[in-house]
Amino acid sequence: MKRWCMVSHDRHLLRSVTDQLLLVAGGKVQPFDGDLEDYRVWLSNQKKNEEKSSDESTSTVSRKDQRKLDAERRQRHKPLYDALKNAELAVEKYHQGQRQLEQQLADPAIYVESEKASVKKLMEREA
């Protein structure tokens, strides 16, 4: 039996096609015992706990120390932000190439017999 993993924010799609949810949190992946509504509640509780701990740490830390902690956090996350930016640029480049291919394939002039090889190459690239 084949198993597939799907990542989506589309709740309707997830309800329609999934039979098991996995929770990725705290550096671990584990089965999530519940449905999407249970996950929404779990996520809400996590956010409340984070806000509570953030409020507690902020009240005991001076502004100067808080700025220092924030700067350290930004530095720690910088490689992730950079990787995300690079991934977004790569995806945009791919989409731009896909649009160009679609424009070329939409041109009726290339569907003449003499352009048969070009069309074949374009269709292979599109696939």
Element (H, E) at 29: strand 28-32
pLDDT at 30: 93
Tens-digit pLDDT profile for the chain (127 aa)? 778 888 888 989 998 988 899 999 888 999 999 999 999 999 999 998 888 776 666 567 788 888 898 899 889 889 999 999 999 999 999 999 999 998 988 888 888 888 888 888 988 888 8
Element holding 63 (H helix, E strand): helix 63-106
Cβ burial of 23 (10 Å; 0-12, 13-18, 19+) is middle
**Domain range summary for the chain, segments of one domain joined by +:** 8-60, 63-127
